[in-house]
Amino acid sequence: MANTKSAIKANRQSIKRRARNLAKKQGYKVAVKEFRKTAPTSPKGAAEMLAQLQQKLDKAAKAGVIKKNKAARLKSKAAKLLAKSSK
């Protein structure tokens, strides 16, 4: 347990940040799963979902929840899946 006032505050901040980061992480993971499920069946709906997915990934990368390269990799993979399914 934290002893000093600054350690107590730091603990409080870390709990809030962890909750915020987990929410962002879960948000983009759910979006990726929904996109992968939708893309093969409905390319038009998936095109709209791709824009939302890219936005969530960019926000997660900007916040430091994931690295920029991982966001780029997931966006690229999603775009390839959409291109493949729209043929």
- pLDDT (tens digit, 9 = 90+) per residue, 26-48? 999 999 999 999 998 888 888 99
Asked whether residue 69 carries a pLDDT value surpassing 80, the answer given is yes
pTM of the model: 0.85
How far is residue 61 CA from its own chain's centroid? 8
CB 76 within 8 A of CB 32: no
Q: Which pLDDT belongs to residue 53?
A: 96
Q: Which residues contact 61 (CB under 8 A, 6 or more apart)?
A: 67, 68, 70, 71
CB 75 within 8 A of CB 56: no
Q: Which pLDDT belongs to residue 1?
A: 77
